[in-house]
Structure 1
Amino acid sequence: MGRREYLSRLALGRSPFETIDRRNDGSSKQADDGESTETEGSVQSMHGTQQYNSKGRPINPTTDLRNAEMRTAQNSVLELVGVVERRERSEHSSEMKFRYIHHARQTVLAAEHETGEGIESLIQLLIAPLTTWWSDCLIQRCLIGLYPAEEPFASIVSSMWQTLRIGGFKGTYSVLVPGLIPYVTYVIARMCSEALAEDVIRRLSERVLRQTLPIRHRKRMLHFLELTEAGLRLLIDGALLPMVYYATAQQIGIAPAYPLLPPLQYHLPWSPNSFHAFGWKPLIGLPLLRSISSPAALILGQTLLHIESEEGIISSTDLTTFRRPSFGELPDVPKTPTIKDPLGWILFQTYGLRRKVVEWCGWTIVPSANAPSLDAKHEIDVLDGNGDGTDGNLRRHRSTALARLPAQHLAAHIDSFLERLVLLPFECIVLRAVAVSCSNSSLPKTLEALAATPTLPGPFGGWISQALHSRSTIASVSAQANKVGLGLILRLTMGTLLCTGVAKGICWIVTIGGAEATLATSCILRIRLSIRKIRISSIVTSQTFAAVPPQSFSAYPSLFRRRLLPALVTALAVPTSRGRDLFALLSHALDPRCAARMNRVQEGLQREGKSCYKRGDYKTAIGHFDRAIGRAPSVQLLDNRAACHEKLNDLPAALKDAKRAIQFQNEDPTGYLRAGKVLFRMEKQSVALEIYAHGLKKVKHIGQGYELLRKVHGELTTQLAPPTSVDPLTVLPRELAELILGYLSFQQRIAISRVSKQWSDFIRSSPDLWQHLDLSNPKRKVKTAFVSKAINTARQKLTAATLSSLHDFDKVLHALLRHCPIEQLTLCDTGLQSQNLVEALKKSKHLKSLRLDRGTEIGPTTFAQVIQVCASTLENFQCTLARNEEFVSICTKCERLNTLKVTLTGDVSRHRTGRAPPIAPVAPGLGGELLPNLHEFTPNLQSLTIHDKKPRSLLHSVLDLRNLGGLERLDLELPFDSAHQLVPPPSLVHLRFVNTLNTGCANFFKDSNFNYRKFSLPQLQSLEVAVPWLDVKLIDFFLSGYPELNASTPREARESLSKLKELNLYALSVSPDGLGALLSLPRLKQLLKLGLRPSSVCDDNIADAITETLPSLHTVDLSGTDITGVGVKKLLRDSNLKNLVVNDCRYLGSDAVAWAREHGVKVAYKMSSSETGGKKVRY
């Protein structure tokens, strides 16, 4: 053991000269055998004394520690080389895999659920009403006694079938959908009227809220507006009663199916044939019942009863405590109500019967004994067990709307059948009142109605009073009752079988068909996403009228308003602005968010939820808020439910409700405040700050909500700001700050001067930042006072000015040239007169560069005067010349002028001689020489640019520049007809030659004797040629160097020619052979940039000619050619290409562009044509 310390130093990597810590910390370690070494009960002694564990075994803590360290090191090495994996990481990987599978499954189930809801909406909106309409009409006709008592029910159905088979379109309409057209007309008219009324009331309410009125007066005015809205709704219902009456008469077979709509006199109150002349007549003489016994009063009461029950003012939920569970939630079977709740007892009996039928069909409902032990947090989780559910062996599975669609429709039809039986007497009274009134009116009637008029029973009494006086009437009453029962059974059977079969078929198509059902599913999902889900209510009246569409004229307006019309508005693309405005008005009125008040039931549910929230019972409060939101959601209800979720620490659910509140009404600050608070608790402060900022943009700048939103936004901004926020201009040295601001443009400096007063003072106190007064492209006209401040700030350092859109150009220009040493002056859109410009320039003593852009056109006379005034100092002169008279060359000697650019606008002269024809164009220097003796007046000219933007005719002048020995850059855009009109100097380095003629110039280099003209340009390095339909081979005439150059020319003369670095050929006729012959010239061996936009068709063959002859090329522009991906690959093969421009190449795919970019080439690729391009997809 004498070498233990030395060996331990070597094993653990310590130095032999390092002392070892001999202390024993006594902590429990893990021995090799896996047993725990505890210090309690062990012998604590100095080093060298044997120690034992709790089991009496000898231990050495130092050895155990060293062994543990060695195992850890070995595991780390094995993990590094990939032999083993840590248990924690493996478990994490398995958990992530499980989460991914779970997320994928939830996504599939969510898509299936959305598909089921869309199919449900389709069946509820179209299939169910259209298929059960005729059976409902048959039941109604049996209720009023339209058919004789002795006629069998089978005979009635057979006669309807015969009419349907041989009656054509008229017979089909009268049997299947009688009264549909007036009913749809009623729905549309009512929706539009209610939309207009709600919009007017909303605007008046907003106007009242904006006014500064006392609270009492404001409440009175709002209450008055509510009463006015209710009155308008009642007036609309009363005005539309004739249409409802006519539709009911057609359904019960009293009025004929044609005409589809009643005449105009039928609606006018003053007409003798009006509905109001007989529709309001009472059908009973009792004083108490006289006012409510008319057909109009009964229909209006039926309509108002349904509307009020839907809005919660008169609702069966206030009369009973029974709640029917829906298929979309976890079943919570209620207990049997007592006899003190008769309505609840009746509903419970109907529910029990429906439950037995549904369970018999295979849909298991969980009994109440097992319901409390289930987790009810899942929204669409259901439990499926044995038939009776008594053994408690329940299996949870995920159920979607698509899976439960057939059973849900079966239950809905059973509910409607049973509830219709309950309300059958009231329906019978309404229909008989309409039948008797219509039979006694002047409206046209059907043959069945005329035959049955003497035997039609009255609405009050009817068969009962007849049965009391005649024994034979009992048999007829029994026969009619049998017909009604058979009709009800027929409707239940057909509706159930048809809707269930359609649901099963669609489910099978969606599940099995796959690709065949993609289009239908997407359409259904589109409808589903654009409408609001209708919550299945347990209200007796509401469910009854919603389930029986023909006799109710208020259920389907709500269904149509909430489901069908928003889907049509979303699906249709309205092309005209007038149509868009109409649909926008309808959508605004149909949106439930426009409701300004909640109903009594909602207020009660909200009060119960708030009281539960105060008591701390947050789950119960969420249940109350869910029921209230199911009726009609509002921002306040969503915020209340989000607060409950926040208390339960369910932050994602709270954030979801907050986002829904924002989407519901983006001008209400409540949703933004709640979302920001939840995001702050989720430690997403930056996102919360963005939510607050977005809310400040949307919320109106009035009220406490906006102030609170601004307050929390400021507090969060302060909290997220750095602890020491300092102004950089106060910390940085002045020289460094000026250097940084020097990188900004003049407009940017003026913009940042508005940050603070300190920044403004700093910028205004630095004359170096005001050397260039750049007023180009201003948003509005610049005031003269600003220019005066700039002159005073610059302190004689203002040397450049760009003026545009000033209030007083003359005053500003005179002040600048008088007080500042202006060297560079640019005038844009000044509108200055020629004489004023010349007078102002006379004051300039340092002007070196003068630029007169478009908007400051001058004439040739003014051009000469400007040159004469600034001849001693001018070095750069650019102007836009209005061609209203002949262009005169420079007649003043300008020793320093080295750059001259003249742009001809092409304006036709207003002052013509009498000999000139009225349409004769005026070209510069017709019949003479263009710019004669230019070398005498501008001996140091280095750059010359002449552009003719609107050529009117050919240019017959000759531009002779041979004597300009210092000219290096020449840029011409003129309507040349021949190359003989241009004589360039041999000193040119850069040449841009553009022929503005639109006609072909194939013989451009030939004269009248068919002799070719060559240019002597031995120093040329950059060439751009654009001559329409010129053969690319003839470009050699620009590159010959010397006209007399031939095969016998010495080699030294050939090698003395410069090598071109850039070549651009536009609008030429290009062929692969001709291009190859051109590019093989010796002067192009060192070409770096090549631009080729030919007028002829060029394909991938030009790529071979380019790559074979130009090895040093690094930039190529092939825009507008027919090159494909094959050509791009050829260009990049064994080349030094770095930049590639392929704009508007219609045959080039994006994959080839991506491939080229992957190989390190910078590719510019965009399509400007509308045929190949498309709308941008923003994501």
Structure 2
Amino acid sequence: MPPIVSGHHERGQKLYQKQDFKAAIEAFGEALTHKSSDAIGVLDNRAATYCKLEQYEQARRDARHMIKKASQDERGYLRCAKVLLLEGKPEKALEIYAYGLKTLGSKHPRREVLEQLHKKLESRMLPNRKDPFTILPFEMAMLVIEQFSFKQIVGIMRVCKGWQRFLGSISQLWMKIDFTGARGTVPFNAISSCIRRSRGLLTHATIKSLPLPQTSKSLEFLSRCPHIEHLDISANYGSKEFFDKFKRHKKLQNLTFSSEIPVTKADFLRLLHDYPKLDRIALWNIREGQQSSASPWPDSLPNLRGITLASKTSYTSSIMQHGLWVPNLISDKQPHPLPRLQELRLDWDPPTLLPVSYPICFDRPDRQDASIDDDPAMRPPPLLRQIDFRGILPSPNLFTGLPKGLEYLRFSGGMARPLQLTPPTETLPRLHTIIFVDAGWVTFDILQQFLFDAQPPVRKLYLDQCFNVSWHEFLLIMEHKGRNPELDKLEELGVSHWRDVDDMYASVLRKSFPSLRVLDLSYTSITGCTIREFTDSRTSELDKGAKLDRIIVRGCESISLDAVAYGRQNGLEVIT
């Protein structure tokens, strides 16, 4: 049954024919107040009238109201696209046609009209649309494509079939695959298609979010690529099954197993023996096990530069049988067994922390006589650049074994009891980053040993949740920072979760460290006054204090939104 045309609607149509458009709009508006009127028809007529007056925004509003009110009525899509064409926006009009075709059912009686108009507009716009990959020389196209990540390239392939064929034909784009950013599980066909596009020349693979039923099949297909050098696997899989599939991959240089893959100490040693070209290894679930006499630590690992080991098991016998034990960090052998080792990360999270110092340090395991500390031949060579320990309580002679080439040192977690360390006898001339997080064993004396006795050129210092160092004690360090002039060049400082840290303390920090660029005051008692002070100091030429680029204030409940907005508006990056 056709809709009833109300009197006001009919009057508006007549006024439109007489080109009295303003009166017609008023009549259509009155028609919309009647429930019995054809609302879609009235809106359609009023949008057409607005177009005559070149009031395209109002016309577009009525057209979109038509679509919202009746999504299965083709008139809304037709009117909206027509308004956009009058505005000179054919691309937007094409999108409206496409949206209408997607929304209307395949058996809609007026769908054919929408299809014809969509096809006509698309063909009319075609001469102005040029595929850059068909115009640019291949070398220049590759320079553009190389700027995109693997995830972005996969998304670009969905634009059109032409781009899919073009990108899929470039094998070097698929030699490095990374599914880290996958929104859901990664099916087998996604991995297999990437391997086929690489023509089996895959060298780097980061595999995440594999569905359990397809894990074995996906890794089996991956193992057929003989040139793999980098492998990062996050899947519920067994280390023995991995050995069976990848035992021939002698070119492997970087290997990472997630915590879902348990690895015994024996399996770890087997990895070191089977892959002599390993450059970096990261195993996030080491299990304690007896060290097999047939698989001792290799006498030499000449290529190994980075070791990351994580374990949740307590050691029950000799520490040298624990999965985190790394021998040969110090050695009198020539050449050194680990000549290129630069990074060491140990992560220990047992069910119950042991009330003893975990003897991971840079001493020989068979040292009995403390007098060899004075023998330069027994000290570690300057190999390590970065040390990162979590959950590990250092031994009292920590400073004795730290290499002089150390640049980055981080301790987090572990037992909370205070320690006494043997004072350093040598400086650490390259140590630019010191991070202590939830390290209750750090005391005022230990902090002085690190900052004053070792004389590091520290640029980044984080003392987060170090509750055995009071802010009064840290004030003493600031007062005596002349003992290490490098502290004046400190660029980043973190004192999150410190008790009694307020605006006054933050002001002292600003004046004490003029080179400071990043400050973390999370979970302290500061207010918006601190943000305003640091913000104002950025633009003051007379102020000799720190000119911060970023301040971190997570969990600071006394900071107002106005203060945060003030800082951001004036160029200070405020992270809440």
For the aligned pair, the TM-score class normalised by the smaller chain equals 0.7 to 0.9
8 Å Cα contact 1:801-1:825 kept in structure 2: yes
The alpha-carbon deviation at position 852 of structure 1 amounts to: 0.9
8 Å Cα contact 1:1120-1:1144 kept in structure 2: yes
**Number of the residue aligned with 1:1039:** 451
The one-letter code sitting in structure 1 at the alignment partner of 2:362 is L
The one-letter code sitting in structure 2 at the alignment partner of 1:1014 is P
Moved more, 1113-1122 or 750-759: 750-759
**Number of the residue aligned with 2:361:** 960
Q: For residues 603 and 1130 of structure 1, what CA distance do their matches in structure 2 show?
A: 68
**Number of the residue aligned with 1:1018:** 428
The one-letter code sitting in structure 1 at the alignment partner of 2:552 is V
The alpha-carbon deviation at position 901 of structure 1 amounts to: 0.1
Given the superposition, is the C-alpha separation of residues 764 and 640 from structure 1 closer, same or farther in structure 2, using an over 3 Å criterion? closer
Q: 1:1091 aligns with which of 479, 494, 499?
A: 494
Q: For residues 35 and 224 of structure 2, what CA distance do their matches in structure 1 show?
A: 78
8 Å Cα contact 2:228-2:249 kept in structure 1: yes
8 Å Cα contact 1:764-1:793 kept in structure 2: yes
Q: 2:155 aligns with which of 736, 751, 758?
A: 751
Q: For residues 862 and 665 of structure 1, what CA distance do their matches in structure 2 show?
A: 65
8 Å Cα contact 2:444-2:473 kept in structure 1: yes
Question: More helix by proportion, 1 or 2?
Answer: 1
8 Å Cα contact 2:502-2:524 kept in structure 1: yes
**Number of the residue aligned with 1:1115:** 518
The one-letter code sitting in structure 2 at the alignment partner of 1:1138 is D
**Number of the residue aligned with 2:551:** 1140
Q: For residues 1123 and 607 of structure 1, what CA distance do their matches in structure 2 show?
A: 65
Matched, 1:1061 2:471: no
Q: 1:828 aligns with which of 223, 234, 238?
A: 234
Q: For residues 1144 and 1023 of structure 1, what CA distance do their matches in structure 2 show?
A: 23
Q: 2:343 aligns with which of 938, 943, 952?
A: 943
Q: For residues 895 and 976 of structure 1, what CA distance do their matches in structure 2 show?
A: 29
CA deviations 1:658-693 (Å, max 9, x no partner) are 444334334423233223334544556566556555
SS of 2:411's partner is strand
Q: For residues 704 and 604 of structure 1, what CA distance do their matches in structure 2 show?
A: 26
Given the superposition, is the C-alpha separation of residues 633 and 682 from structure 1 closer, same or farther in structure 2, using an over 3 Å criterion? farther
Q: For residues 832 and 1155 of structure 1, what CA distance do their matches in structure 2 show?
A: 51
Q: 1:855 aligns with which of 234, 238, 260?
A: 260
Q: For residues 621 and 877 of structure 1, what CA distance do their matches in structure 2 show?
A: 74
The alpha-carbon deviation at position 887 of structure 1 amounts to: 8.8
Given the superposition, is the C-alpha separation of residues 608 and 851 from structure 1 closer, same or farther in structure 2, using an over 3 Å criterion? closer
Q: For residues 362 and 47 of structure 2, what CA distance do their matches in structure 1 show?
A: 85
The alpha-carbon deviation at position 961 of structure 1 amounts to: 1.1
Matched, 1:740 2:144: yes
TM-score normalized by the length of structure 1 = 0.40
The equivalences for 1:788-827 within 5 A come to: 790-791=194-195, 793-794=197-198, 797-804=201-208, 805=210, 809-810=215-216, 813=219, 816-817=222-223, 819-827=225-233
The one-letter code sitting in structure 2 at the alignment partner of 1:900 is I
8 Å Cα contact 2:204-2:229 kept in structure 1: yes
Q: 2:389 aligns with which of 963, 967, 972?
A: 972
The alpha-carbon deviation at position 945 of structure 1 amounts to: 0.4
The one-letter code sitting in structure 1 at the alignment partner of 2:402 is P
User: Where does structure 1 lack aligned partners over 5 or more consecutive residues?
Assistant: 1-595, 907-921, 1007-1011, 1043-1056, 1167-1179
The alpha-carbon deviation at position 1140 of structure 1 amounts to: 2.6
Matched, 1:768 2:159: no
The one-letter code sitting in structure 2 at the alignment partner of 1:737 is A
The equivalences for 1:63-74 within 5 A come to: none
Given the superposition, is the C-alpha separation of residues 1013 and 614 from structure 1 closer, same or farther in structure 2, using an over 3 Å criterion? closer
Q: For residues 569 and 9 of structure 2, what CA distance do their matches in structure 1 show?
A: 65
CA deviations 1:429-449 (Å, max 9, x no partner) are xxxxxxxxxxxxxxxxxxxxx
Given the superposition, is the C-alpha separation of residues 690 and 661 from structure 1 closer, same or farther in structure 2, using an over 3 Å criterion? same
SS of 2:315's partner is coil
Q: For residues 857 and 655 of structure 1, what CA distance do their matches in structure 2 show?
A: 61
The equivalences for 1:883-894 within 5 A come to: 883=287, 891-893=297-299, 894=301
Given the superposition, is the C-alpha separation of residues 790 and 639 from structure 1 closer, same or farther in structure 2, using an over 3 Å criterion? closer
Q: 1:989 aligns with which of 399, 407, 411?
A: 407
User: Where does structure 2 lack aligned partners over 5 or more consecutive residues?
Assistant: 332-336, 364-378, 538-542
**Number of the residue aligned with 1:911:** none
CA deviations 1:593-618 (Å, max 9, x no partner) are xxx986xxx46759966995898698
The alpha-carbon deviation at position 625 of structure 1 amounts to: 9.1
The one-letter code sitting in structure 2 at the alignment partner of 1:1088 is E
Q: 1:900 aligns with which of 298, 304, 307?
A: 307
Given the superposition, is the C-alpha separation of residues 623 and 733 from structure 1 closer, same or farther in structure 2, using an over 3 Å criterion? closer
The alpha-carbon deviation at position 752 of structure 1 amounts to: 2.3
SS of 1:960's partner is coil
The alpha-carbon deviation at position 657 of structure 1 amounts to: 4.6
Q: For residues 898 and 748 of structure 1, what CA distance do their matches in structure 2 show?
A: 31
**Number of the residue aligned with 2:75:** 670
The alpha-carbon deviation at position 850 of structure 1 amounts to: 0.8
SS of 1:729's partner is helix
Q: For residues 1104 and 1149 of structure 1, what CA distance do their matches in structure 2 show?
A: 18
SS of 1:903's partner is strand
Moved more, 1057-1066 or 631-640: 631-640
The alpha-carbon deviation at position 851 of structure 1 amounts to: 0.9
Given the superposition, is the C-alpha separation of residues 862 and 670 from structure 1 closer, same or farther in structure 2, using an over 3 Å criterion? same
Q: For residues 982 and 701 of structure 1, what CA distance do their matches in structure 2 show?
A: 76
Q: For residues 1118 and 621 of structure 1, what CA distance do their matches in structure 2 show?
A: 60
Matched, 1:704 2:109: yes
The one-letter code sitting in structure 1 at the alignment partner of 2:412 is V
The alpha-carbon deviation at position 742 of structure 1 amounts to: 1.3
Q: For residues 687 and 814 of structure 1, what CA distance do their matches in structure 2 show?
A: 47
CA deviations 1:850-870 (Å, max 9, x no partner) are 111232232223222222211
8 Å Cα contact 2:497-2:522 kept in structure 1: no
Q: For residues 413 and 16 of structure 2, what CA distance do their matches in structure 1 show?
A: 86
The one-letter code sitting in structure 2 at the alignment partner of 1:1035 is L
How many residues align? The count is 524
Taking only aligned residues, the RMSD between alpha carbons, in angstroms, comes to 3.9
Given the superposition, is the C-alpha separation of residues 644 and 856 from structure 1 closer, same or farther in structure 2, using an over 3 Å criterion? closer
Q: For residues 1085 and 615 of structure 1, what CA distance do their matches in structure 2 show?
A: 82
Given the superposition, is the C-alpha separation of residues 938 and 670 from structure 1 closer, same or farther in structure 2, using an over 3 Å criterion? same
**Number of the residue aligned with 1:1074:** 473
The equivalences for 1:485-504 within 5 A come to: none
SS of 1:970's partner is strand
SS of 2:283's partner is strand
The one-letter code sitting in structure 1 at the alignment partner of 2:408 is H
8 Å Cα contact 2:496-2:524 kept in structure 1: yes
Q: For residues 626 and 749 of structure 1, what CA distance do their matches in structure 2 show?
A: 54
The equivalences for 1:39-188 within 5 A come to: none
Q: For residues 191 and 69 of structure 2, what CA distance do their matches in structure 1 show?
A: 51
Question: More strand by proportion, 1 or 2?
Answer: 2
The alpha-carbon deviation at position 723 of structure 1 amounts to: 4.4
The alpha-carbon deviation at position 927 of structure 1 amounts to: 6.2
Q: For residues 741 and 877 of structure 1, what CA distance do their matches in structure 2 show?
A: 30
TM-score normalized by the length of structure 2 = 0.77
8 Å Cα contact 2:266-2:289 kept in structure 1: no
**Number of the residue aligned with 2:419:** 1005
